[in-house]
Structure 1
C-alpha cells in the first residue's frame, strides 16, 4: 500500500465539492512510476477497523 490518506478535502457540511483529488493524485503517481507524496492527511469519517496492535500511528487507539 502506498496511500492511506483522505479521498479529498470534502467533509459533511463543509460545502467543499467531492473530487477525490488526493486519491487520484496518488493513483497517478503510482501509474507514472513516481514517488507518492508521504504527507498524507488521514481520512475522516467511517474508519477502517484495525486489528489491535496493527493500527497506524495516527489512529490513536
Structure 2
C-alpha cells in the first residue's frame, strides 16, 4: 500500500479549488452552476473519505 503524503493531498485540494473556481467563473448559466456545485460536493466527500481512509491505513500499519 502506497503512502500518501500530506503535501500531495494539499496540492490535489489546491488543484481542485482552482479548477472549480474557473468552472464557476466561466459558467454563468444557473443549470451549470448547480451542476458544478453538485460536483464540488461529491468530490469533496470523495476526497475526505480517501484522506481518512489513508490515515486509518497508516495508523494500522504503524500499530503492527
TM-score by length of 2: 0.31
TM-score by length of 1: 0.32
| Higher CA-based Rg | 2
